[in-house]
């Protein structure tokens, strides 16, 4: 057997695999002998069927099967031994004059080669790293929310300022009938609020979805609809009032502190606000980190220039999935996936060049932390180590879940690396400013 590679250009190559009868015949003969031993053909005793009959019946299919196995194994071994960094999988070149009746065969495969490039982390235009702080306004709101959450509910005869109103939204055309509780303070516009103020239980209020709430996400919750269903929705509604309440705010005292955080964890309003600030900024940090990773990703994709074997990849996409694509469909799919492929290559280069590795113990520890955090949400704050280990083992035995967690861990490692390796423009903002700048 002989394998050779011819470079078409820097990103494309053709590998030729030549197989002769000497490479596969012994294996084919051994299989046919075994077939003869087991063959059960009428008119012949078991094991006594003439070899000529066995070869005539099975010889070609066994030979084709063995040649294909040999071809696949030799090609895979060649790619590994030559350390060829390829994209996609080798594509067999069609041969019009190919003949399985011959003894010797030559197969050709197209390869798409990964480009060579350098990743520069010294950004000319500095990437913004947001430091989100919990400002006084947010702390005031959170203290008020806690007071309200642990406050006393007082039924009302009519809707007054600050009321919570339970009722049913109806639109017959959309077959909508949804029970909801809404806050009067979340209703948008003087005209809409005027319809509610002074209304009693049993009153039916006519409304329109457009501009009803100060935030469309509240409309989603009130009507039980998805983001796509709510987008651009303009329909009339009726709202039948069923219950009206106001909440008398809880006093800011030790009883409230103990209800929120447990006995004697917080002992003053100052400590309460500090605890709220600490918890809020932990949550903000997660969002700021994700935004930073996204910003670095965008920067690297935009500023790391290299060519890809585009035509090869389009051909590969056309045949690699469960359902073959037309050239036009493959080209469209390539356009959608090119950016993701570029970042995969960049990410791999960063990991390799900076010796950022991931071992199984790290993945187990990361998964354990993930499981503990989930259990804590359901009140299980001190699980036993054996229980944790058993859950981690089950989670990582699921290939999809293991892959997802591995990707999260790699992203975390990259983020930590980027924070050390890149000089950012640091900007301190409150949460509202962060949302306006990032999500616009």
pLDDT tens sequence across 426-435:
999 999 999 9
Q: Do 401 and 395 meet the contact criterion of CB atoms below 8 Å apart?
A: yes
Sign of the CA dihedral with 254 first, then 258, 263, and 268 last: negative
pLDDT band at 422, cuts 50/70/90?
very high
CATH code of the region 266-439: 1.10.3120
Residue 186 has pLDDT above 90, yes or no: yes
List 416's β-bridge partners, or say none.
none
Q: Where are the domains of the chain?
A: 2-113, 152-248, 266-439
pLDDT band at 380, cuts 50/70/90?
confident
CB atoms within 10 A of CB 132: 23
User: Which residues, including other chains, have CB under 8 Å from residue 265's CB and lie 6 or more apart?
Assistant: 257, 258, 275
Query: Cα(first)–Cα(last) distance of the chain, in Å?
Result: 62
Could you give the CA distance from residue 257 to residue 191 in angstroms, rounded to a whole number? 39
Could you give the CA distance from residue 265 to residue 41 in angstroms, rounded to a whole number? 85
CATH code of the region 152-248: 3.10.50
What are the tens digits of pLDDT across the range 197-222? 999 999 999 999 999 998 888 999 99
Q: Do 13 and 98 meet the contact criterion of CB atoms below 8 Å apart?
A: no
Tokens of 10: 């820097």
User: What is the average per-residue pLDDT within 371-386?
Assistant: 82
Tokens of 231: 């987008």
> How confident is the model at residue 231, as a pLDDT?
84
For the ranges 91-95, 361-365, 373-377, the lowest mean pLDDT is seen at 373-377
Q: Do 242 and 167 meet the contact criterion of CB atoms below 8 Å apart?
A: yes
User: Which residues, including other chains, have CB under 8 Å from residue 152's CB and lie 6 or more apart?
Assistant: 247, 248, 250
Q: Domain 2-113's class?
A: alpha beta
User: Which residues, including other chains, have CB under 8 Å from residue 171's CB and lie 6 or more apart?
Assistant: 235, 236, 237, 238
> How confident is the model at residue 18, as a pLDDT?
94
Q: Do 87 and 112 meet the contact criterion of CB atoms below 8 Å apart?
A: yes
> How confident is the model at residue 322, as a pLDDT?
85
> How confident is the model at residue 232, as a pLDDT?
83
Q: Do 14 and 112 meet the contact criterion of CB atoms below 8 Å apart?
A: no
Smallest CA-to-CA distance from 168 within 122, 114, 205, 208 is with 205
Backbone angles phi, psi at 14, to 5 degrees: -125, 125
For the ranges 48-57, 142-151, 182-191, 328-337, the lowest mean pLDDT is seen at 48-57
Q: Do 91 and 309 meet the contact criterion of CB atoms below 8 Å apart?
A: no
Question: Which helix (H) or strand (E) segment is 198 a member of?
Answer: none
What are the tens digits of pLDDT across the range 16-56? 999 999 999 999 999 999 988 888 777 787 777 888 888 88
Tokens of 12: 């494309």
Give me the percent of the chain exceeding a pLDDT of 70. Answer: 100
User: What is the average per-residue pLDDT within 92-97?
Assistant: 86
Could you give the CA distance from residue 122 to residue 200 in angstroms, rounded to a whole number? 65
> How confident is the model at residue 94, as a pLDDT?
86
Backbone angles phi, psi at 248, to 5 degrees: -80, 120
> How confident is the model at residue 344, as a pLDDT?
94
Q: Do 195 and 158 meet the contact criterion of CB atoms below 8 Å apart?
A: no
Could you give the CA distance from residue 398 to residue 385 in angstroms, rounded to a whole number? 21
Angle, to 10 degrees, between the axis of helix 269-303 and the axis of helix 254-261?
Answer: 40
Backbone angles phi, psi at 183, to 5 degrees: -95, 130
Tokens of 157: 């005869």
User: What is the average per-residue pLDDT within 268-290?
Assistant: 95
Sign of the CA dihedral with 47 first, then 51, 56, and 58 last: positive
Across all residues in the chain, what is the average pLDDT?
92
> How confident is the model at residue 220, as a pLDDT?
92
Q: Do 77 and 308 meet the contact criterion of CB atoms below 8 Å apart?
A: no
> How confident is the model at residue 39, as a pLDDT?
81
The answer to whether domain 152-248 and domain 266-439 are alike in fold is no
User: Which residues, including other chains, have CB under 8 Å from residue 113's CB and lie 6 or more apart?
Assistant: 10, 11, 12, 13, 84, 85, 86, 87, 309
Return the ∠ at Cα 254 (arms to 253 and 255), rounded to 5°: 90
CB atoms within 10 A of CB 163: 21
Residue, of 289 and 58, whose pLDDT is higher: 289
């Amino acid at each position: 057997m002989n394998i050779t590679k011819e470079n078409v250009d820097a990103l494309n190559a053709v590998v030729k695999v030549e197989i002769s009868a000497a490479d596969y015949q012994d294996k084919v003969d051994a299989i046919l002998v075994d077939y003869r031993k087991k063959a059960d053909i009428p008119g012949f005793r078991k094991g006594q069927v003439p070899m000529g009959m066995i070869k005539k019946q099975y010889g070609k299919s066994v030979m084709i099967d063995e040649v294909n196995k040999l071809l696949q194994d030799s090609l895979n071994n060649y790619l590994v031994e030559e350390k060829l960094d390829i994209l996609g999988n080798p594509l067999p070149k069609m041969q019009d004059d190919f003949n399985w009746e011959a003894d010797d065969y030559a197969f050709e495969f197209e390869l798409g080669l990964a480009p060579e490039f350098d990743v520069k982390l010294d950004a000319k235009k500095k990437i913004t790293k947001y430091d989100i702080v919990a400002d006084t306004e947010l702390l005031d709101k959170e203290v008020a929310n806690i007071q309200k959450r642990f406050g006393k509910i007082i039924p009302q005869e009519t809707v007054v300022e600050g009321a919570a109103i339970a009722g049913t939204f109806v639109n017959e055309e959309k077959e909508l009938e949804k029970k909801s509780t809404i806050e009067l303070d979340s209703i948008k516009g003087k005209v809409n609020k005027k319809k509610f103020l002074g209304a009693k239980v049993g009153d039916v209020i006519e409304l329109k979805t457009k501009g009803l709430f100060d935030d469309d996400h509240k409309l989603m919750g009130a009507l039980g609809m998805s983001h796509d269903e709510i987008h651009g929705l303009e329909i009339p509604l009726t709202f039948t009032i069923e219950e009206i309440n106001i909440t008398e705010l809880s006093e800011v005292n030790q009883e409230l502190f103990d209800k929120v955080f447990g006995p004697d964890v917080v002992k003053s309003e100052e400590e309460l606000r500090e605890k709220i600030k600490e918890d809020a900024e932990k949550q903000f940090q997660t969002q700021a980190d994700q935004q930073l990773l996204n910003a670095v990703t965008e920067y690297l994709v935009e500023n790391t220039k290299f060519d890809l074997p585009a035509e090869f990849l389009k051909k590969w996409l056309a045949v690699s999935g469960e359902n073959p694509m037309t050239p036009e469909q493959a080209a469209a799919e390539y356009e959608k996936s090119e950016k993701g492929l570029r970042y995969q290559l960049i990410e791999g280069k960063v990991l390799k060049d900076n010796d950022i590795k991931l071992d199984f113990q790290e993945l187990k520890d990361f998964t354990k932390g993930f499981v503990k955090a989930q259990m804590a949400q359901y009140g299980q704050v001190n699980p036993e180590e054996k229980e944790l280990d058993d859950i981690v083992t089950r989670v990582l035995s699921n290939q999809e879940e293991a892959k997802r967690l591995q990707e999260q861990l790699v992203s975390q490692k990259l983020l930590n690396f980027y924070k050390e390796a890149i000089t950012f423009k640091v900007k301190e903002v409150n949460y509202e400013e962060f949302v306006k700048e990032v999500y616009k």
